[in-house]
Copies of this chain bind each other. A is one copy, B any other.
């Protein structure tokens, strides 16, 4: 197991779904809500640090900030301030040993580093994934008429497709996967766009949630044929988690087979369901990112569950880190530790060969993502 640990420790990863690291230092209250999917402070008398991710930060990140493992939250945050956010980013991103970041910039971009700053902070190449809904909302804010909406969105997405390596949809958040799988007719889209654009004008807020428009966006991605990431499962309190079960997408997946690759993100607690889809559909891939960070010591169990039905060529690594670079680092720590323990046990028990274990870790950690997104070696 030691030999395997060494190989996996030094494997340069492709983090195929991630966001920017923190752009500036934040106070404790802000930091606390950045290490949970809750959007509010912990109840009085408690702290978000008393969680798997909080314990992981104190265990694994503290030494990189020159503290003892298990330093208190107070010590940790004091030292973080002392070093400064830039230095913390630099240290943690370097320690993550990620070769390439595939970054999605559609969520609260101001608080986090953009593409170029992330490349600078990490010293590694970055690639972009564009959020479909963010493009449509930008079009709406720019003041397009309903008659031009569909065509304008189409053009903008096509322009993004020139540089982006893929797209992402958050239909799971905005409606749920229980949408009609069929491509909406032009007339339906026109009607829905008209209704929504009036709302945007009236409210000044452009938040797309109309199921017809969300389906229109999904099918635009199908036409463009680039890899499409879908938020699945675990996320924040905005979500109706049971409507983000990827099995609800089965009929849509059937309809788009052969047109594009679909990457199911996170998936917890539906990662076994995702593994089933990844086995039976040739164009379906998945990861257990985000969960890795938030289940901490339990990531061994979650990664193990992801290694059941899904072929090894259909799984990817991601951290889904957003904000604190602790999350960019811990995603990698938890994944490496989990893979080492799981595959190492199988090698020790004589069930897998050592070479196969190395090969599978490399496929999931990097090769599969390079193949799907067409990234350079």
A50 engages B360 (CB within 8 Å): yes
A234 / chain B contacts, CB cutoff of 8 Å:
276, 309
Rounded to whole angstroms, the CA-CA distance of A371 and B47 in the bound complex is: 14
A254 engages B237 (CB within 8 Å): yes
Looking across the interface, which residue of chain B has its beta carbon closest to that of A368?
Answer: B46
A45 / chain B contacts, CB cutoff of 8 Å:
313, 371
Which candidate, A89-97, A317-325, A351-359, is the interface stretch facing chain B?
A351-359
Looking across the interface, which residue of chain B has its beta carbon closest to that of A294?
Answer: B309
Rounded to whole angstroms, the CA-CA distance of A69 and B242 in the bound complex is: 43
Interface size class of A (residues with CB under 8 A): 35 or more
A247 engages B237 (CB within 8 Å): no
B242 engages A59 (CB within 8 Å): no
Quick check: is A376 within 8 A (CB to CB) of the other chain?
Answer: no
Contact mask A313-344 → B, CB, 8 Å, 1/0?
11000000000000000000000000000000
Within 275-325 of A, Cβ neighbours of B (below 8 Å) are at 276, 279-283, 291, 294-298, 301-302, 304-305, 307-314
Quick check: is A86 within 8 A (CB to CB) of the other chain?
Answer: no
Quick check: is A85 within 8 A (CB to CB) of the other chain?
Answer: no
Quick check: is A220 within 8 A (CB to CB) of the other chain?
Answer: no
Quick check: is A42 within 8 A (CB to CB) of the other chain?
Answer: yes
A245 engages B242 (CB within 8 Å): yes
Cβ 8 A contact of A70, one of B272, B294, B310, B356: B356
A248 / chain B contacts, CB cutoff of 8 Å:
242
A298 engages B302 (CB within 8 Å): no
Which candidate, A6-14, A32-40, A153-161, A182-190, is the interface stretch facing chain B?
A32-40
Quick check: is A26 within 8 A (CB to CB) of the other chain?
Answer: no
Looking across the interface, which residue of chain B has its beta carbon closest to that of A244?
Answer: B247
Looking across the interface, which residue of chain B has its beta carbon closest to that of A243?
Answer: B247
Q: How far is the CB of A297 from chain B (nearest CB, A)?
A: 5
Q: Given A298-B307, A301-B304, A351-B297, decide whether A241 and B247 contact each other with a Cβ distance below 8 A.
A: yes
Rounded to whole angstroms, the CA-CA distance of A309 and B301 in the bound complex is: 13
A296 / chain B contacts, CB cutoff of 8 Å:
351
Quick check: is A51 within 8 A (CB to CB) of the other chain?
Answer: yes
A250 engages B241 (CB within 8 Å): yes
Quick check: is A268 within 8 A (CB to CB) of the other chain?
Answer: yes
A59 engages B351 (CB within 8 Å): yes
Given contacts A40-B282, A43-B283, A298-B304, 13 further A-B contacts (CB under 8 A): A48-B311, A50-B313, A51-B310, A52-B307, A59-B351, A59-B352, A70-B355, A70-B356, A237-B281, A240-B251, A268-B272, A291-B308, A301-B305
Instruction: Report which A residues bind B (CB closer than 8 A).
Output: 36-43, 45-48, 50-52, 55, 59, 69-70, 234, 236-237, 240-242, 245, 247-248, 250-251, 254, 268-269, 272-273, 276, 279-283, 291, 294-298, 301-302, 304-305, 307-314, 346, 350-353, 355-356, 360, 363, 371
